[in-house]
Structure 1
């Protein structure tokens, strides 16, 4: 976990098991790292399984459950030999914001640029609604710069909801276009912020306070380079903890995240220690995977396989 050096941005320049492109490292090494170039390559490889559904070959929908970047890249190369930026829509594989961001994180890390994924809710897709979302942060030598690898400049100039913003340098904070899960949860607990309209658009059962609370745990995992799927469940979510216990743990984690984001000395180290010392927080061994395709299974993170209803598949 890195001891006293965990706040050093260089720690996020190292690949995780999820972001490592393995045999496809050369492909990423040959791509540019400007945010607009990263966005072009990410959206050339991956189509959002919901927003871009009309462009997808239905046979490719299972790629939504691929969690390791090397397998995402392998599936994309199998689908088409075309260059990633500007690839025809029909040649793309299925994914979501987590996959666009994992691609961006992997590409940047391959170029030794510190990068990490952030879990939160975008206010710019649906009027009056915070859509669950994942974006990338890159260290520019002075600060962490947040960008949305799904969006081009034209979207930021005329978002579907909210005021214009730069998708390659997204403003931060509770009142920003993209508040993090920790920011929203802390505001809910401190000031009673209503979380009813935060979650998965058009899926009523996946919204509200408990959903945002779950995303705090996801945010911590991604912060510590465990870039799991958004529909992976593990640890405290499975071990029968009471709502009060889960709330208290989310309070503690959200506070550490906010303090670390603010640059408070020792906060990043405290978050790393908390994550390392509590096995309920870490997706290790195996996780329960609740796919949006309607299937459920157990994923063995060491073997890199998922068992769906008695069938073993690569995950």
Structure 2
């Protein structure tokens, strides 16, 4: 079963695919960070821009603002609260940052900057924490982008499926990784010993790098995944999601239904697909934005169909229903 498309979704879909894709090549080939300092259709803060522009610009403050609005779907008990399944599915399915802010306004304090109880936060996953941080930074004109890969700090002896935000540091003249999900409770529970707003690159393995590591037999691909899902087929999905993120198409973590990503776990078909993934993984591993853009536009195995709509992708509810044994 797939979601029904809301009329507003159709307009956004057209902008996200037709309108945005046609200008990607020009923007990316400019080879400057201005590309990532402007909003995508998914990170457009819309009516909330003026509020967000007035927030402090330091990463720690923006992360604290984000943590006040969102609660991770797997951490309810630690915060001492719970949400019914319908609320979980509805809020986890929010794709656009403007919808997340609108939902936040409807719960608890209307003022987004006021402290709120955990029960009044939006049920989210790592992608949403990173999306909010990225959206606010772009609203302030600071280059930022989502990255999909695997964290080394969420579970011991495991590479956990995860999303983080990279932002461009003018002071350091490089991309810096930040994890907006790591509030004080996360840091204490997980015994985090690094700065979540500027952490070492070995703490987060880009999806393309994870593919390369496993293909060279340096790590076991079964150690990469989440909730019982793992292996090269899982890593493949994250490589594709990371390439989309590099072109400012910030997918939901369970978006599937096209090309070689027909299902959440789509087995690798043959040696030709392995070779293709070897090539695509390099673009992710090197953060090669022009190459990622070219692949998303022209590689038929991963490019979105001309008639694609996000409503064609299964929802998180569909995913949970199909894979109850894992979730």
- Report the TM-score when normalising by structure 2: 0.79
Structure 2 unmatched ranges of 5 or more: 1-23, 322-327
Q: Which residue of 1 aligns with 2:164?
A: 135
- Counterpart pick for 1:230 among 210, 231, 253: 253
Indicate the RMSD between aligned Cα atoms, in angstroms. 2.5
- Counterpart pick for 1:245 among 272, 277, 285: 272
Q: Which residue of 2 aligns with 1:94?
A: 123
Is residue 56–residue 94 contact of structure 1 (8 Å, CA) maintained in 2?
Answer: no
Q: Which residue of 2 aligns with 1:13?
A: 37
Distance in 2, matches of 1:236 and 1:246, equals 9
CA spacing shift, 1:75–1:104, aligned 2, 3 Å: same
Q: Hey, which of these two has a bigger chunk of strand by percent? A: 1
Is residue 97–residue 134 contact of structure 1 (8 Å, CA) maintained in 2?
Answer: yes
**Matches for 1:43-122 after TM superposition, within 5 Å:** 43-52=67-76, 54-58=80-84, 59-61=86-88, 62-80=90-108, 81-84=110-113, 86-122=115-151
How many pairs does the alignment contain?
283
Distance in 2, matches of 1:82 and 1:25, equals 14
Is residue 19–residue 68 contact of structure 1 (8 Å, CA) maintained in 2?
Answer: yes
Structure 1 unmatched ranges of 5 or more: 262-266, 298-315
Distance in 2, matches of 1:55 and 1:283, equals 39
- Counterpart pick for 2:203 among 132, 157, 177: 177
Distance in 1, matches of 2:116 and 2:52, equals 15
Listed one character per residue, the Cα deviations across residues 207-238 of structure 1 (whole Å, up to 9, x for unaligned) are 12210121100110111100010000133213
Q: Hey, which of these two has a bigger chunk of helix by percent? A: 2
- Report the TM-score when normalising by structure 1: 0.81
Q: Which has the higher contact order (CA 8 A, sep 6+)?
A: 2
Distance in 2, matches of 1:9 and 1:186, equals 26
Distance in 2, matches of 1:235 and 1:286, equals 14
